A = this chain, B = another copy of it.
Amino acid sequence: MEQQQEEIQAQVETQIIEVQDKAETRDEILLAALKLFAEKGFFNTSLTEIAEAAGVKNTSAVYHHFKNKQAIATQLFANILDSLNISIDDIRRKNQKSSEQLRGIVDLLFKLTDDAPDVMRFLLILKLDEFLPEEKPMLETPAFIKIYKIIQSGIKAGEIRSIDPMLVNAYFFGIINNTLRMVLTGALDKNADAYQSQVWLAAWNAIAKK
């Protein structure tokens, strides 16, 4: 009985491990690809390199998980935007005012820049439509539509200046993203966190109703 249970336990563990292995191989590929794309760009990264970095000695293994190189990038793009979208939902639920919601988003972006710079490089630096020409432009994805709505609410509520919401977007994320881009490329030498509070203030002041 005990032995049987142990066997079952062992089987379950094996299954978990197998499942993990499957997931891990796929994830290893995605992770390796993200890193390489962020470092050298999509076109400078060969499938051979991705395979190596993922711990497989072979491009064929990669082709078993993904139709082609583009499909890897597409999946990365979807994953990143999904998790961004979920985070934004969370932020909207926990905060009422547009200013607070934007503050939350800024907090998230700065954290990501320090903790997952490759993700932010993918979002801010790579020219996505060069290798994902059929994907929707970022501004039309759920995450960014929600940001647009936050801005609209802020204007309606009198928190934000009454100008074209798209210009508000341009000002606010112009300051935020450009700063983060400079952190990512090393033009600014401290980590993102060191700049966060002052950059937030500058960005918010650029769009806040006086």
Chain A positions within 8 Å of B, measured between CB atoms, are 40-41, 43-44, 125-127, 130, 137, 139, 163-164, 166-167, 169-171, 173-179, 182, 185, 187-188, 195, 198-199, 202, 205-206
Contact = CB atoms under 8 A, between A and B. Distances in A.
B174 A188 contact: no
Contact of A187 (B44, B127, B166): B166
A184 B203 CA distance: 22
Contact of A175 (B174, B187, B188, B195): B174
B139 A167 contact: no
- A166, A177, A202: which has the most chain B beta carbons within 10 Å? A202
A179 B170 contact: yes
Contact of A177 (B174, B188, B205): B174
5 contacts: A126-B127, A139-B187, A167-B195, A171-B175, A171-B206
A157 B176 CA distance: 26
A177 B170 CA distance: 9
Contacts of A205: 205-206
Contact of A178 (B164, B174, B185): B174
A102 B182 CA distance: 20
Question: Shortest 8 CB-CB distances between A and B: which pairs?
Answer: A174-B178, A43-B43, A174-B174, A41-B130, A174-B175, A170-B179, A170-B178, A206-B206
